[in-house]
Structure 1
Amino acid sequence: MTQGLALLAFLVVSFLAVGSLLVGARLLRVRARVDSPLKRETYECGETPRGMAWVRFHARYYVVALFFVLFDIEAALILPWSTIVREVGTTGLVAVGTFVGVLMLGWAWAMRKGALQWV
């Protein structure tokens, strides 16, 4: 029962702390003195902006992002292994070889399906 009360007290104090910080930030925020339309304009290095600032990217760019994440994680997992390659021996080599092999099979399958054909 005492652990339950301690947890309840911790939750109450946590919510009160977060709430007081949010209220304090709202009360102490910096406000602009003058609200003119000129302050709401986009500033581009002294140049007057041309066109809309919101550029729509094609939805197929997510494939490039997924490939980047895939191979970034691969590098993040292989680089530490490369520092201890002598200590882990053949077992480590087989494990990393299997890991890279599965990644390459997935990459080859995606290329065969035309994942980056539009690029």
Structure 2
Amino acid sequence: MVDLSQYLPILMFLGIALALSTAFVVLPMVASRFTGAHKPTPEKLTEYECGFPAFEDSRSQYDVRFYLVAILFILFDLEAAFLYPWAVTVFDLGWTAWISMMVFIGELALGLVYAWKMGALEWE
């Protein structure tokens, strides 16, 4: 039979975490009720980010090209993340590491050329 008293610290931790997370959500709402911050006024409802009213719906869809450029950025950012540790240890690893990295960079270059030819980097 399993001794359930071993799970007591985990249950206490979960209880404290639940109490703190509930307090962090509920206490600001209660404090705003007492301070009057919840009452909307025309001044509070004015535009504050850019200074003028929005001229189109904020929920409009982005063009697919935006996501293509974002994916390409992530791809080449990951290339840099793989390139740094390789550059630090290339002399210890030998020719096999150098050849495999050149194949990797070549594949990424072919992917960039393909994306360029397909028009993924052109913006209107």
TM-score interval, smaller chain: 0.7 to 0.9
Cα offset, 1:25, TM superposition: 1.9
Secondary structure of the residue aligned to 1:38 is coil
Match of 1:91 in 2: 96
What TM-score comes out, normalization by structure 1 length? 0.72
**2 CA distance for matches of 1:94 and 1:78?**
13
**2 CA distance for matches of 1:91 and 1:109?**
27
**2 CA distance for matches of 1:41 and 1:55?**
19
Secondary structure of the residue aligned to 1:41 is coil
Say how many residue pairs are matched: 114
Superposed, 1:1-119 pairs within 5 Å as 1-2=2-3, 5-6=5-6, 8-29=7-28, 30-31=31-32, 32-34=35-37, 35=39, 36-44=41-49, 47=51, 49-52=52-55, 54=58, 56=60, 57-112=62-117, 114-116=118-120, 118-119=122-123
Which has the larger displacement, 57-66 or 99-108? Answer: 99-108
Secondary structure of the residue aligned to 1:23 is helix
Q: What is the CA deviation profile of residues 34-55 of structure 1, one whole-angstrom value per residue up to 9, with x for unaligned ones?
A: 522311222147x4x1434727
Cα offset, 1:115, TM superposition: 4.6
Residue ranges of structure 1 left out of the alignment (5+ in a row): none
Cα offset, 1:17, TM superposition: 1.5
Q: Is the 8 A contact 1:63 1:115 kept in 2?
A: no
Percent identical: 25
Query: CA distance change for structure 1 residues 26 and 83 in 2, over 3 Å: closer, same or farther?
Result: closer
Which has the larger displacement, 95-104 or 70-79? Answer: 95-104
Root mean square deviation, CA, Å:
2.8
Cα offset, 1:88, TM superposition: 1.8
Where relative contact order (Cα < 8 A, 6+ residues apart) is larger, the structure is: 2
